[in-house]
Amino acid sequence: MVEEAKSWFKENSTLIYFLIAQVIAIGAFAASGLAYMVKLETRVTIMEERGAAYTVGRMDEMKLKIAVLESQIEKNEDTIARVRELLLRDFGKSITK
Query: For residues 16 and 9, is the Cβ–Cβ distance under 8 A?
Result: yes
CA distance 32 to 43: 16
Alpha carbon separation from 39 to 5, 29, 43, 51, 58 (Å, rounded): 45, 15, 6, 18, 28
Residue 67 belongs to domain spanning: 2-96
Query: Is 0.95 surpassed by the pTM of this model?
Result: no
pLDDT tens digits, residue range 55-67?
888 899 999 999 9
CA distance 65 to 59: 10
pLDDT tens digits, residue range 70-93?
999 999 999 999 999 988 887 776
Count of structural domains within the chain: 1
